[in-house]
Amino acid sequence: MFFDPSYIVLVLIPTLLLSLGAQLFVRSAYNRWGQTRNSSGLTGVQVAERIFGRTNVNSLRLEQAPGELTDHYDPGSHVVRLSEGIATRPSVASMAVVAHELGHVQQHQENSALIQMRTFLVPAVRFSPTIGYFMIILGLLLNATGLFWAGILLFGLMVVFMILTLPVEIDASLRGLRLLRESDLLVAETDTSGSRQILTAAAITYFAAAITAVLQLLYFISLSRR
- Residue numbers annotated as active site: 101
Count of alpha carbons within 13 angstroms of residue 80, beta-carbon side? 27
Q: Would you tell me how many other CB atoms lie within 10 Å of the CB of residue 124? A: 13
Task: Indicate the pairing of strand 61-65 with strand 79-83.
Answer: parallel
26/144 Cα distance (integer angstroms):
42
Give bridge partners of residue 91 from the DSSP assignment.
37
Please, what's the largest Cα pairwise distance for the chain? 63
Task: Indicate the pairing of strand 79-83 with strand 72-74.
Answer: antiparallel
Counting other chains too, the contacts that 113-116 makes at CB distance below 8 Å and 24 or more residues apart are 114/164, 114/167, 114/168, 114/171, 115/168
Nearest partner of 86 among 104, 108, 62, judged by Cα:
62
Q: Where are any strands of DSSP class E within the chain? A: 61-65, 72-74, 79-83
Nearest partner of 166 among 124, 117, 94, 123, judged by Cα:
117
